[in-house]
Amino acid sequence: MKLFGLILTFNCERFVEKTLKNIPYNKFDKIICSDDGSADETKQKFVNKNIEFFSHEHLGYGGNLFFGLKKAFEMGATHVVEIHGDGQYDLENINDIIKKFKIENSDLILGNRFYNYKNTLKNGMPIHIFFGNIVLSLIAKIGLGLKLKDFFPGQRAYSKNFYEIIKTYKLPKGYQFSFEIIMLSKLHNLKISSVNCQCNYKGEKSTAPLHYLFSGFYHLITSIFLFRLDKKKILKRKK
């Protein structure tokens, strides 16, 4: 097993130093950064940190993540842990993630922010994000038939097997990417697991605005409908 940490950044200049301090470097074989065309001094924060920094034109969350995964697996990774450059998610559960990969042979691991609802609110999750995620995750749970509480976390981890499958599809480059890869994993019967995670919403962070919930709801419903058609082999998803 060769585990890479993939830091995703976009104008994260003010968060990067804290993020880098909280990474358990001894758990990773290598750390790299995929930058989504930052216009600030994000790149300079990685100077002399012994972390390879890859930048590209601004693509959006999904485009940046896919770019980073491609780099990581080309460089020899067998598994990759996603690390957000704003430091919102800690990595205290890294041993649980490694266990899911090594013992359970998981392909996609999702952080679960809702293992304790009171704790989630205590960590400062905005009310619209709290209830919005619970409702959307319930719809996704029923629609995909997956026993998960949290379908939209920022903490995720991926196997090379997962990447080899999703890379054959044309996927959206925005936040819609995050749900579509779960849907494709279920479609291809990949092993999907979850680990409890902490997410700090206090202070300045890059939290999704309220209007994302409405666009997210529309995308969720249409995606589940197409997923059902694909499962019944009525309408095959285009690659």
Residue 234's pLDDT is 74
Residue 119, both tokens: 């704790």
The SS3 of residue 203 is coil
Domains in the chain, ordered, with CATH?
3-231 (3.90.550.10)
Residue 117's pLDDT is 93
Write down how long the chain is.
239
- Burial-class residue 66 by CB neighbours within 10 Å (0-12, 13-18, 19+): buried
In the chain (239 residues long), the average pLDDT of successive 10-residue segments reads 97 92 96 96 87 95 97 98 93 97 97 94 90 94 94 96 95 91 95 94 61 76 87 71
Start-to-end CA span in the chain (Å): 29
| Beta carbons of 171 and 226 less than 8 angstroms apart | no
Residue 213's pLDDT is 67
- CA–CA distance, 126 with 132 (Å, rounded to integer): 10
List of E strands, the chain: 3-9, 30-35, 52-55, 79-84, 108-112, 156-159, 192-196
Residue 108's pLDDT is 98
Report in angstroms the alpha-carbon separations of 42 from 17, 39, 208: 10, 8, 20
Residue 212, both tokens: 């994302």
| Beta carbons of 34 and 7 less than 8 angstroms apart | yes
Q: What is the pTM of this model?
A: 0.91
